């Protein structure tokens, strides 16, 4: 039994999801004639109380399109130093939008409103790039699945409004955050100008993200998606998977969160573990005490037991629980950990 805890992207469609995909009514979505895509977009727009939702092949493309919509070349956006848009999207912010990042030294991927305010370049000081966008990530990936304090997000919204900055949310794992903090899509829709959400992470779809926003900002979204190569034809098979996941895979995220807590408990009891970061959702980030066992050796031992996890650099290791990490695997993994 292979136990893959590298990411929540390793899941495969469930039989129920596959059935929904097979049964999907499809058309050419580039002509907006795919009923399954249209239905998904309508549903997600309504969930977030936004005018428009647009289906994308990846979360990266949805974020990159959003950044393009909010900025002009030579502008600057503000994000945390851990941000996915900065670290893990291949330099797309500069490639696609000609925009630079002002990195904020936040806590587990989260900044304060004060830090954001201080990072804004004075708009009349033409020597500096013009700040036009703030990008937030919830939950934070590199920050270990941490959830933002909603009040801080509101304060940042106020900063954005009074400085006329766009406010984007990379919500690849927003489903996890909303579940953990008992928040609603509507609350997030009221806060942010644009939000990207992923269906290929916790929700278990093979592919798919959606970007939501109101009419004005989303006007050019479909053109930007086309330019980035994201116009898809009979994408309804994929949208059907996403609609199925919305119905069947959101509430069960609680199981992933519980399992993560239980893994954390065992890790904290192990002598050779130096530190386990707080666990709020489905991501566990921890460090090995290298004087007792090397990180490499630990990974090798896990692999010898058919368990796979990933390094995050700087001695940090990451475990992510997900839909395909079964109860049986969980029991097996905990006992493997205790024996190492």
**Could you tell me the smallest distance in angstroms from the CB atom of residue 251 to ligand PLP?**
21
Give me the residues paired with residue 143 across strands.
none
Give me the residues paired with residue 287 across strands.
275, 316
Stretch that binds ligand PLP, among 44-52, 54-62, 153-161, 298-306 (CB under 6 A): 54-62
From 200, 281, 282, 321, residue interacting with ligand PLP (rule: CB under 6 A)? 200
Instruction: CB nearer to ligand PLP: give 119 or 172.
Output: 172
Per rule CB under 6 A, count of chain residues that contact ligand PLP: 13
Stretch that binds ligand PLP, among 110-118, 196-204, 216-224, 316-324 (CB under 6 A): 196-204
Instruction: CB nearer to ligand PLP: give 120 or 142.
Output: 142
Strand duo 316-320 + 283-288: pairing: antiparallel
Instruction: CB nearer to ligand PLP: give 137 or 193.
Output: 137
CB 148 within 8 A of CB 106: no
Stretch that binds ligand PLP, among 98-106, 120-128, 197-205, 303-311 (CB under 6 A): 197-205
Instruction: CB nearer to ligand PLP: give 120 or 279.
Output: 279
Measured from the Cβ of residue 52, the count of other Cβ atoms closer than 10 Å reads 20
Q: Which residues contact 227 (CB under 8 A, 6 or more apart)?
A: none
From 44, 66, 198, 302, residue interacting with ligand PLP (rule: CB under 6 A)? 198
* Helix, strand, coil share (%) of the chain residues, nearest 5: 45, 20, 40
**Could you tell me the smallest distance in angstroms from the CB atom of residue 305 to ligand PLP?**
27
Instruction: CB nearer to ligand PLP: give 76 or 141.
Output: 141
CB 209 within 8 A of CB 198: yes
CB 22 within 8 A of CB 241: no
Q: E strands of 199-309, at which residues?
A: 209-213, 273-276, 283-288, 307-308
From 58, 71, 135, 281, residue interacting with ligand PLP (rule: CB under 6 A)? 58
Quickly list DSSP for 287-329.
Answer: EE-TTTS-HHHHHHHHHHTTEE-EEEETTEEEEE--TTS-HHH
**Could you tell me the smallest distance in angstroms from the CB atom of residue 269 to ligand PLP?**
29
Instruction: CB nearer to ligand PLP: give 70 or 298.
Output: 70
Binding of ligand PLP by 84 (CB under 6 A): yes
Instruction: CB nearer to ligand PLP: give 66 or 270.
Output: 66
Binding of ligand PLP by 209 (CB under 6 A): yes
Applying the rule CB under 6 A, the residues between 108 and 147 that interact with ligand PLP are 137, 141
According to DSSP, residue 55 is labeled: E
**Could you tell me the smallest distance in angstroms from the CB atom of residue 208 to ligand PLP?**
8
Quickly list DSSP for 130-193.
Answer: PEEEEEEESSBTTTTSB---HHHHHHHHHHHHHTT-EEEEEETTHHHHHHHHT--HHHHHHH-S
Applying the rule CB under 6 A, the residues between 252 and 291 that interact with ligand PLP are none
Site residues (vs ligand PLP, CB under 6 A): 58-60, 63, 84, 137, 141, 170, 172, 198, 200-201, 209
């Amino acid at each position: 039994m292979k136990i893959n805890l590298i990411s929540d992207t390793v899941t495969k469609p469930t039989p129920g999801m596959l059935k929904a995909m097979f049964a999907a009514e499809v058309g050419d979505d580039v002509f907006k004639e795919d009923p399954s895509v249209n239905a998904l977009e309508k549903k997600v727009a309504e969930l977030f109380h936004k005018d428009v939702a647009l289906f994308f092949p990846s979360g990266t493309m949805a974020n990159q399109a959003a950044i393009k919509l909010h900025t002009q070349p030579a502008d600057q956006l503000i994000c945390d130093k851990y941000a996915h848009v900065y670290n893990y999207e291949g330099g797309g912010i500069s490639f696609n939008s000609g925009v630079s990042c002002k990195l904020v030294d936040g806590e587990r991927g989260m900044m304060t409103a004060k830090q954001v305010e201080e990072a804004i370049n004075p708009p009349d000081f033409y020597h500096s790039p013009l700040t036009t966008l703030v990008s937030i990530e919830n939950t934070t990936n590199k920050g270990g699945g941490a959830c933002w304090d909603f009040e801080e997000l509101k304060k940042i919204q106020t900063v954005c409004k009074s400085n006329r900055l766009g406010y984007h949310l990379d919500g690849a794992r927003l489903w996890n955050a909303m579940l953990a903090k008992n928040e609603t899509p509507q609350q997030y829709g009221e806060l942010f100008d644009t939000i990207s959400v992923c269906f290929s992470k916790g929700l278990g779809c093979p592919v798919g993200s959606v970007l939501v926003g109101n009419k004005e900002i989303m006007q050019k979204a479909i053109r930007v998606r086309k330019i980035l190569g994201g116009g898809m034809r009979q994408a309804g098979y994929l949208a059907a998977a996403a609609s199925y996941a919305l119905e069947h895979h959101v509430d069960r995220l609680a199981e992933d969160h519980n399992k993560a807590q239980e893994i954390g408990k065992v890790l904290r009891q192990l002598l050779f573990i130096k530190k386990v970061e707080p666990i709020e959702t489905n991501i566990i980030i921890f460090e090995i005490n290298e004087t007792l066992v090397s990180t490499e050796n630990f990974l090798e031992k896990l692999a010898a037991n058919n368990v796979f996890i990933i390094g995050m650099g700087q001695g940090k290791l990451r475990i992510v629980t997900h839909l395909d990490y079964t109860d049986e695997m969980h029991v097996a993994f905990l006992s493997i950990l205790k024996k190492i």
